[in-house]
């Protein structure tokens, strides 16, 4: 997988969209990621599975900040699951805490998504 590869796969389950990111979130892929997730946010909350996200650059961190703002504007949630150590470290280095709720598994994420807006 090259640096400009990011697979964004979305599946709708009831009123929640489960989006899996696979690859790299960087300046080459950030806008495509944002567009895909914002499209889902217009219709409901999003569970963002990051298990196969291998790299997040500063542009990727900015994409997460943009998605947080969009979730607020759309009055829906983005819940993160399966954060790799590399993503947690990128968030720490960027000084990001509590930008998104983080669930321990998909079942917990669905429970969080079904509650009211944050």
Domains and CATH numbers, the chain: 6-96 (3.30.750.24)
d(C-alpha 31, C-alpha 38), whole Å: 10
Q: Which residues of 6-25 are buried (b: 16+ CB within 10 A; e: fewer)?
A: bebeeeeeeebbbbbbbbbb
pLDDT of residue 97: 81
Whether pTM exceeds 0.85: yes
What integer pLDDT is reported at residue 1 of this predicted model? 54
- Angle at which helices 30-41 and 58-74 cross, to 10°: 10
The parts of the chain modelled with pLDDT lower than 70 are 1-3, 116-118
What is the predicted pLDDT for the residue at 95?
A: 85
| 23 within 8 A of 6, measured Cβ to Cβ | yes
């Amino acid at each position: 997988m090259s640096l400009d590869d990011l697979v964004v796969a979305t599946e709708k389950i009831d009123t929640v969209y489960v989006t899996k990111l696979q690859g790299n979130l960087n300046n080459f892929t950030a806008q495509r990621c944002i567009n895909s997730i914002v499209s889902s946010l217009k219709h409901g909350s999003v569970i963002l599975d990051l298990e196969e996200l291998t790299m997040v650059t500063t542009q990727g961190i900015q994409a997460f900040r943009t998605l947080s703002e969009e979730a607020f504007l759309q009055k829906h949630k983005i819940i993160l699951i399966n954060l790799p150590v590399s993503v947690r470290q990128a968030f720490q280095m960027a000084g990001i805490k509590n930008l998104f709720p983080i669930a321990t598994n998909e079942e917990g994420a669905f429970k969080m998504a079904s509650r009211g807006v944050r």
